[in-house]
Amino acid sequence: MIWHRLRSDEIDHELIWLSVSLLAVVGACAWILLRLPWPGCIFHAVTGLPCLTCGGTRCAIALAHGNFLRAFSSNPLIFSAAVFAGLFNIYAAVVLTARLPRLRLPPLPQNMARWLRSAGLLVLAGNWLYLVLFLG
Ligand SMILES: [Zn+2]
């Protein structure tokens, strides 16, 4: 990992993804305040099986109530993504506010990138298997 000052020609990932996160939170709050119906899962309705994101709403609600175990058990992958997003948002808010150098990953060797893609697919498959077996 490399820390460096953001150049004018670089994408400001911290600003973009922090904005997206804040908009998602505002949208979710508006959804709840407007008492809109919970969205159903089309994949589950058609196949009878959970999709990769089934349990995500329950996970978010449990996280909002500080129930981390229930959030994790609702969908471990969504829980992990939410925790990562929370940590990233804290980092992004700090570097944006204090105008600090940004953290970037150097280009990965091709075999390492291939290995990471394979590991990512295994994580997705493992999460889906968990959802099918335990939340089916
Ligand atoms: Zn689903």
Instruction: Indicate if the pLDDT at residue 118 is higher than 90.
Output: yes
How close is the Cα of 40 to the center of ligand 1, in Å? 7
Q: How far apart are CA 105 and CA 79, in angstroms?
A: 23
Per-residue pLDDT tens over the stretch 46-65: 999 999 999 999 999 999 99
Angle at the Cα of 53 (from 48 to 55), degrees rounded to 5?
75
- Mean residue pLDDT of the chain comes to 95
pLDDT tens column, 66-96: 999 999 999 999 999 999 999 999 999 999 9
Tokens of 136: 């089916």
The predicted pLDDT at position 18 comes to 98
How many angstroms does the Cα of residue 57 sit away from the middle of ligand 1? 10
Q: Is the pTM of this model over 0.75?
A: yes
